[in-house]
Amino acid sequence: MRKNVTIKSVADELGLNLSTVSRVLNGYGEKYRISVKTIEAVNQMAEKLNYVPNNIAKSLRLKRSSTIGLVVPDISNPWFSTIALEVEKKCRKNGYNILLCNSGEDVKTEKRSIALLQNWMADGIIVAPTGIEYKHLVSVKKKGIPLVLIDRFFENIELPFVSTNDYNGALEANEYLIKNGHKRIACIQGIVNTSANIQRVNGYKRALMNHGIDVLPELIVGSDFSFQNGYHHTKQLVKKSAKNKITAVFSTGNQISLGVLKALKEENIKIPSDLSLVSFDDHNYLELLYTPLTTVSHMNESVGQKALDILFEIMADNNAKEYSDGYLLPTQLVIRESVKAIS
Amino acid sequence: MRKNVTIKSVADELGLNLSTVSRVLNGYGEKYRISVKTIEAVNQMAEKLNYVPNNIAKSLRLKRSSTIGLVVPDISNPWFSTIALEVEKKCRKNGYNILLCNSGEDVKTEKRSIALLQNWMADGIIVAPTGIEYKHLVSVKKKGIPLVLIDRFFENIELPFVSTNDYNGALEANEYLIKNGHKRIACIQGIVNTSANIQRVNGYKRALMNHGIDVLPELIVGSDFSFQNGYHHTKQLVKKSAKNKITAVFSTGNQISLGVLKALKEENIKIPSDLSLVSFDDHNYLELLYTPLTTVSHMNESVGQKALDILFEIMADNNAKEYSDGYLLPTQLVIRESVKAIS
DNA sequence: GTGAAAGCGCTAACAA
DNA sequence: TTGTTAGCGCTTTCAC
């Protein structure tokens, strides 16, 4: 079917040996002091025959694929697609390609993706784990394959990561709510066992405790980072009796917040007059909402780039097993109009 | 560094021939009537040695990579990241991986990506071209590599595509504006030579002409699908003298619309009381904006899935050169609150 | 039922 | 300055 123009085709056509052609095509012409005439002839013939190098053969030979694996829970989430964009750009600049895998927040799929990337001899792997299990990730590292976690990580497990200072971000956000007089603050959380969620909820709790406000378990609801989760639990929270009414909501993710807003809209509850809202994750559309949202921003510091920096460092050092440092990038509270000061 | 457990390792350990092991591992045990004892032994040993198949070697041998290439202009645009999600899911279900490339709306990068995918023996390629050039795409098809365009296509060029009925969508949107009394409608366009843009602008023009409204060149502005483009040109449009004031804007893309909204907000122009707006591309946050946006939706029909259907069909038929049909998925006008009826 | 061996396209050590 | 050759890990035809 596909006519195969190989190095050998080019060499045969020219009556040269294929290694000569290989050298020229790899830019080693000068190094091997191959005559200018030969070099030109080779290049012309390659062009003429429409030669396309075969990366698969090259990878097999070199035992590296010039490919970086990227595993994210949901590529359609702007937070992750922005990371993907950064990673892809930077990879390309450095001569790497990216193999994209979407785990759909499912550990099994994540494991399969990780296995796949190994099958493909990925030179390095960046993964935003679902956050539930880590053994398969540790095993990758043990095999000497460079690996960096993003967004979520595991405490006390020696896997390098780049994430956000979720704890501080959440603390700051809730301190801000409290400063504005809020005491009954609901927290809609994401996937319970993920570091991102744990840290954000802990920040929330710490803020309340700092001000002598009881942390009420019934005000911490939800179980994943989805629109549905935000929508559903907002509906639930809103149904509570008036005397226990919450005055503010702290949402731990952008998709959740969208669900919250949708539910509030349906219930005809206004922000911030009826209810205040602070959300994790910023995006440029959030300031254009019917109430511009006060958010904890962490888009500005680029997680993807930092992760790649570390990954390349590990790949260069060739002792992948040694690295285990984590980086927490700072957050920033972007104050807009979704919080009302109450007495 | 990386210890290599190969089929040979497993075979040697068992005193078997590597071809036997290969057969077992590929599930051909029964076909070759290999004894159950041997099969079990092989599986156990593979497990024990932690054998990981090498897809690179496999691909080289089989001359296919089980990989689909996906080239998009901007993965951080929700429209494309949603497509990527669909494509990835469906690929995985069918045993394919995806190699993701981001062209950044740059033809050169697009060409490089396409070349790269060929180097990697991608079994098929899905590309949302920048829309300016097509020769490199035709050449891919000529080589017998299955290729399907999405989102944008080339008229009279025999490349199969899956896109949206942009013309109808734009026509309907502008008919709606006109029905609401608007006559001075500005159109903020995307990349001028792309099919998506051409069709959308044509739909806009046709609607005006249908109602005897002059198409004014100065009301068709802009040059790409970015936030910046929408922002900048809205600022410009707004500065025009009062007597020529536009009453409505038709935006040809979601990112553009975000820019429009940002600019209007800064200029303190209210939607729809001061200005009406209809936008191409729907998304769930658009109904949550300070004015829920009336949009031309085409998210619901999944371009990615349809494109993969066609791609798989071509791949199966093994005569990639024959296919050149295009599919235009329907759009839907989602009426919200961003258009005011004027006299 | 299992083994031997060729070869996918490429690189690089060694040879000349 | 160019050629020879081994081998990366795998599949598959042919042989027994």
Please indicate, yes or no, whether residues B226 and B129 belong to a single structural domain of this protein: no
Whether A105 is in a domain gets the answer yes
Cβ neighbours of B54 in A, within 8 Å: 60, 119, 121
| pLDDT over 70 percentage in chain A | 97
Cβ-contact B292, A261 below 8 angstroms: no
Å separating the CA of residue B121 from the C1' of nucleotide C11: 19
Which residues span the domain enclosing A129? Answer: 61-163+300-330
Each residue's pLDDT, cut to its tens digit, for chain B (343 residues) gives: 345 789 999 999 899 998 999 999 988 888 888 888 889 999 999 999 989 899 999 999 999 999 999 999 999 988 999 999 999 999 999 989 888 899 999 999 999 999 999 999 999 999 999 988 999 999 999 888 999 999 999 988 999 999 999 999 999 999 999 999 999 999 999 999 899 999 999 999 999 999 999 999 999 999 999 999 999 999 999 887 565 789 999 999 999 999 999 999 999 999 999 999 999 999 888 888 878 999 999 976 689 999 999 999 999 886 767 788 899 999 999 999 999 999 7
Same-domain pairing of B286 and B305: no
Separation of B286 CA and C9 C1' (Å): 51
Residues A149 and A219 in one domain: no
Q: Do A145 and B2 touch (CB under 8 A)?
A: yes
Minimum-distance CB partner of A60 among B57, B265, B284: B57
Treating both helix axes as pointing N-terminal to C-terminal, what angle do A7-14 and A36-49 enclose, rounded to 10 degrees?
120
What is the torsional sign of CA A142, A148, A150, A153?
positive
DSSP tag of A293: P
| Total number of domains in chain A | 3
**Whether residues B40 and B106 fall in one domain:** no
B130 occurs within a structural domain: yes
Q: What is the pLDDT of residues A142-177, one digit of tens each?
A: 888 999 999 999 988 999 999 999 999 999 999 999
Residue A321: pLDDT above 90? no
Average pLDDT, chain A: 91
Q: How far is B170 from chain A (nearest CA, A)?
A: 23
Q: A102: which chain B residues are within 8 Å (Cβ-Cβ)?
A: 85, 88-89, 92
- Tell me what pLDDT residue B205 has: 98
Q: What is the pLDDT of residue A223?
A: 95
Residue A30's identity, in one-letter code, is E
- Could you tell me if B289 and B266 lie in one domain? yes
Is B305 found in the same domain as B292? no
- Whichever domain contains B77, its CATH number is 3.40.50.2300
In a shared domain, residues A197 and A85 = no
- Closest-approach residue (CA) in chain B for A315: B1
Residue B337 is assigned to a structural domain of this protein: no
pLDDT at position A1, please? Answer: 37
B118, B136 Cβ separation under 8 angstroms: no
In a domain, A215, yes or no: yes
Peptide bond into B272 cis (omega under 30): yes
Domain shared by B116 and B192, yes or no: no
Average pLDDT rounded to a whole number, residues A289-303? 85
The strand C neighbours among A residues 175-214, by Cβ under 7 Å, are none
Confidence band, pLDDT 50/70/90 cuts, at residue A322: confident
Q: Are both A187 and A118 inside the same structural domain?
A: no
Is the distance from CB of B151 to CB of B164 less than 8 angstroms? Answer: yes
Q: Supply the pLDDT for residue A257.
A: 95
Q: What is the pLDDT of residues A213-245, one digit of tens each?
A: 999 999 999 999 999 999 999 999 988 766 578
- Judged by a CB distance cut-off of 8 A, whether residue B56 touches chain A is yes
A40 lies in some domain: yes
Question: What phi and psi values does residue A92 have, to the nearest 5 degrees?
Answer: -55, -40
B176 with B284, same domain?
A: yes
Q: Is residue B2 part of a domain?
A: no
- How many angstroms separate the CA atoms of A149 and B94, rounded? 27
Tell me which long-range contacts B160-163 makes (C-beta under 8 A, separation of at least 24): B160/B310, B160/B314, B160/B323, B160/B324, B160/B325, B160/B326, B161/B326, B161/B327, B162/B303, B162/B306, B162/B307, B162/B310, B162/B326, B162/B327, B162/B329, B163/B195, B163/B196, B163/B303, B163/B326, B163/B327, B163/B328, B163/B329
pTM exceeds 0.85: yes
Closest Cα partner for A46 from A23, A68, A67?
A23
Q: Are residues A233 and A283 in the same domain?
A: yes
Question: Distance from residue B315 (CA) to nucleotide D6 (C1'), in Å?
Answer: 36
Please identify residues in chain B, positions 269-298, with a C-beta within 7 angstroms of any atom of strand D.
none
Split at pLDDT 50, 70, 90, the class of A28 is confident
- More confident of the two residues A271 and A290: A271
Predicted pLDDT of residue A320: 67
Indicate whether A156 and A256 sit together in one domain.
no
Mean pLDDT of A17-38: 87
**Residue A46 lies inside a defined structural domain of this protein:** yes
The beta-strand segments (E) located in B11-96 are 67-72
Residue B301's pLDDT is what?
Answer: 60
In a domain, A122, yes or no: yes
